[in-house]
């Protein structure tokens, strides 16, 4: 339940919440749960999309589509998230950042976890509207919101204290 409260609080004060998480004792398992939460909610958000696609193309059942989504999310996104966190740390270090590899992972994974409500909205929009201008615009808005929030959090974790 505390994660849900922190997610809601992060929409108001992202820098303060990421600082609270960074001030906790270091735990890779703890920050991995943020990434796993994002991936799991993103997977669940794809269920209505898979149902819609299977309705229009019944030769591919929902279970096969969900298996494909799972492979894509957990098999591809997990290593990419770690690589993106490392890249953000390298860029921040070049710009004079004082953070660590751990803080870069924490920041990215927490930023991803905080946009899980938007991922659920995106899944519903794709299920009801299908691919189109409206869902593309929603995806762009979610992407921009994520980038801004991640930037604020990264600034907080990389600045000298």
What number is the average pLDDT over the span 76-96? 94
Q: Higher confidence at residue 108 or residue 74? A: 108
| Angle (nearest 5°) at CA 151 between 147 and 156 | 155
> For position 125, what pLDDT does the model report?
94
User: Over the stretch 19-52, which tens digit does the pLDDT of each residue have?
Assistant: 999 999 999 999 999 999 999 999 999 999 999 8
- Percent pLDDT > 90 in the chain is 70
> Residue holding tokens 């794709």?
126
> For position 74, what pLDDT does the model report?
87
What number is the average pLDDT over the span 124-148? 94
| Angle (nearest 5°) at CA 11 between 24 and 158 | 45
> For position 67, what pLDDT does the model report?
92
> Residue holding tokens 């996104």?
77
Inter-CA distances, 65 with 54, 72, 78, 136, 145, Å: 8, 11, 19, 21, 28
pTM of the model: 0.90
Q: Higher confidence at residue 139 or residue 2? A: 139
What number is the average pLDDT over the span 1-21? 86
Q: What does the buried/exposed string (b/e) look like for 122-134 if buried means 16 or more CB atoms within 10 Å of the residue's CB?
A: bbebbbeeeeeee
């Amino acid at each position: 339940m505390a994660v849900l409260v922190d997610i809601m609080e992060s929409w108001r004060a992202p820098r303060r919440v990421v600082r609270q998480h960074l001030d906790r004792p270091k735990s890779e398992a703890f920050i991995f749960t943020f990434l796993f939460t994002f991936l799991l909610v993103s997977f669940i958000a794809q269920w209505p999309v898979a149902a819609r696609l299977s309705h229009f193309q019944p030769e591919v059942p929902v279970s096969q589509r969900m298996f494909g989504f799972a492979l894509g999310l957990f098999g591809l996104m997990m290593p990419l998230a770690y690589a993106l966190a490392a890249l953000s740390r390298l860029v921040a270090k070049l710009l004079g950042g004082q953070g660590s590899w751990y803080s870069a992972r924490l920041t990215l994974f927490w930023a991803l976890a905080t946009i899980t409500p938007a991922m659920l909205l995106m899944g519903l929009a794709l299920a009801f509207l299908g691919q189109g201008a409206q869902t593309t615009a929603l995806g762009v808005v979610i992407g921009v919101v994520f980038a801004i929030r991640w930037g604020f959090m990264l600034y907080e974790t990389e600045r000298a204290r």
